[in-house]
Amino acid sequence: MDVLDLFSSCKKGDVSRVRYLVEHRDVDLNVRDKWDSTPLYYACVCGYEDLVQYLLTSGARCEANTFDGERCLYACLKDSIRRLLKDYKCVGGHLMQHDYFNHFLRTLLEQGQHGDVEFQVHGQTFQAHRCILSARSEYFAHMFETKWKGKNSISLQHPLINPAAFGAIMQFIYTGRMDIDIGLLEDCRRLAKQCKMADFMEELETKCKQLYDFVSNKPGICVKVLSLEPRSCRLQEDMTQLADSALPPELSVGFGELPFNRADSFPTYPDICFRVDDFNFLCHKAFFCGRSDYFKALLEDHFSEGGQLQSQPGTPVITLHNISHEVFVHVMYYIYTNFTELTTENTLDVLCVADMYLLPGLKRLCGKTLAATIRDHNVLFLWKTARLFRLSRLEDQCIEFMAKIIDLLVKQPEFVEIIVEDAASLEDRHETDSVPLVDEIRYHIAGNVQTYSEIEEANQKLEILEDLLTSINIDC
């Protein structure tokens, strides 16, 4: 519903509603509808300059000479918006931080932290990680165990291997996305065929056809860069295989029995072992250091006692305390895949650990799971939890639910206590100053009312809230 609301608000030019959906509801700005159109596209078509400005500064993708960029440019209703798009350069750093997993993968590729192999391609060096290349490509997995076995530096000097095309293939392997100059498409096809990346080649052909159909019908349009974001991307599935391989054999119930399961067919080259409840998890520093500042300090600054794994000499062992192996499994899968299956029974335990391990994305995932459980009897508890762990979206969803049942809440002593505490928490509060929680409940009661009956119902709820405030001597 939030996504539908975003598209609707962009078509109406409602900047405040779009801002609320993006900043409080965490809606993806670059989401696409069934016509492959983005919120930015509709803002351009409808001529809302202020909205276009907000979307661009918030991270809407619209790079010059790309399909999305040229499509928005062609569809602009106003010249002022067209100039705005032309001045647009790149995605801001704050957006990169917002999409934690994408930011991590891009950084891992660009900086090569904890890389264990490098490729020399006609004078250019590409740092890489055997575990990722093996998980994403059977070709690389095979080569690391045969022709490239034991090599830390691999030279690719064949005249048909273009360094830029190789870099684009590496970008796709790491991030599931590719940006490449149109003139290098044939080099990319050749490399993808060599690496046996059939799915990638199919998606590339589909995107090329889409691009050709667009350009052929739009005189004057010049697209120089092709951006590929395959819908059938196997990135998460392949990373899941990597996480599966890190599980101790005792916890891999039924694992490896299916003939098409690749986990036993490619080595993953672990370089760190986490011991939890006497179980050994064979993991990778690149993932844990890149995803969590807590683990980065733990592993790089040696803030913990350690040992060596007897079965794999040279692999350090770090014992983690105050966490069960069941919860660590969820943390590990999130670190590798950006997702983990949570239940109402374990979400709070995972949330506490995610906060301790400095994993904001996992905290948000926990918040999303808890949001689905909001009911009359637990909304106040979940609101407190959201505030404690700074889960802004869950907090907002709880307040929205409070607004719906305000007639029930005003009868609960706990709710009255929360209002009083919220008012008292404001430093130097004057008698008529607003109380944040009260203001937000009012906003949700009065927001988006359209019909007369809705206005009447909202006024009744506001009156109930005012009566409560009067009874506890709070004027706001």
Same domain, 13 and 103: no
Question: Is residue 251 within 8 Å of 279, Cβ to Cβ?
Answer: yes
Residues 189 and 151 reside in one and the same domain? yes
Check pLDDT > 70 for residue 433: no
Mean pLDDT of 310-331: 89
Consecutive H or E run containing 2: helix 2-12
The 8-class DSSP code of residue 28 comes to -
Q: How confident is the model at residue 3, as a pLDDT?
A: 86
- pLDDT value at position 265? 60
- pLDDT of 81 over the 90 cut: no
Segment 315-343 mean pLDDT? 93
| Per-residue pLDDT tens digits for 400-427 | 999 999 999 999 999 999 998 888 876 5
Is residue 128, in this structure, part of any structural domain at all?
A: yes
User: How far, in Å, CA of 7 to CA of 28, rounded?
Assistant: 11
% of the chain at pLDDT higher than 70: 89
Indicate the pLDDT class of residue 28, thresholds 50, 70 and 90: confident
What pLDDT is attached to residue 142?
A: 92
Q: Which residue has the higher pLDDT, 65 or 108?
A: 108
Give me the half-sphere count of Cα atoms (radius 13 Å) on the Cβ side of residue 95: 16
Residues 457, 450: contact at Cβ < 8 Å? no
- Range with the poorest average pLDDT among 103-107, 157-161, 243-247, 260-264: 260-264
d(CA 387, CA 396): 10
Helix segments in 88-147, DSSP class H: 93-98, 100-111, 130-136, 138-145
Same domain for 107 and 148, yes or no, is yes
Predicted pLDDT at 203: 83
pLDDT of 192 over the 60 cut: yes
CATH of residue 80's domain is: 1.25.40.20
Question: 223: which residues sit within 8 A by CB, 6+ positions away?
Answer: 65, 66, 67, 70, 182, 211, 214, 215
Place of tokens 């957006």: 95
Which residues are registered as beta bridge partners of 167? none
d(CA 395, CA 401): 10
Tokens of 223: 């697209």
Residue 89: pLDDT band (50, 70, 90) is: low
pLDDT at 96 over 80: no
85 versus 429: the higher-pLDDT residue is: 85
Q: How many CB atoms lie within 10 A of CB 271?
A: 20
CA dihedral (404, 407, 413, 415) positive or negative: positive
Q: Does 150 share its domain with 267?
A: no
CATH number, domain with residue 301: 3.30.710.10
Query: Rounded CA gap, 16 and 12, in Å?
Result: 11
pLDDT at 177: 85
Whether residue 361 is contained in a domain is answered as: no
What DSSP state is assigned to residue 369? H
Task: Tell whether the model's pLDDT for residue 91 goes beyond 80.
Answer: no
Predicted TM-score (pTM) of the model is: 0.78
Query: Quick check: is 40 in a domain?
Result: yes
The token pair that represents 230 in the structure block: 């395959």
Which of the listed residues 92, 116, 134 is the one where a domain comes to its end? 92
- φ, ψ of residue 315 in degrees (nearest 5): -95, 115
Closest CA to 186 of 219, 218, 214, 226: 226
Does 162 have pLDDT greater than 50? yes
Strands (E), 182-260: 225-228
Residue range 196-231, pLDDT digits in tens: 888 888 888 888 887 787 777 777 677 777 777 755
Would you say residue 21 lies in a domain? Answer: yes
Q: Kindly tell me if the per-residue pLDDT of 132 is higher than 90.
A: yes
Residue 141: give the domain boundaries.
Answer: 99-228
Give domain status of residue 222, yes or no. yes
* 43/157 same-domain check: no
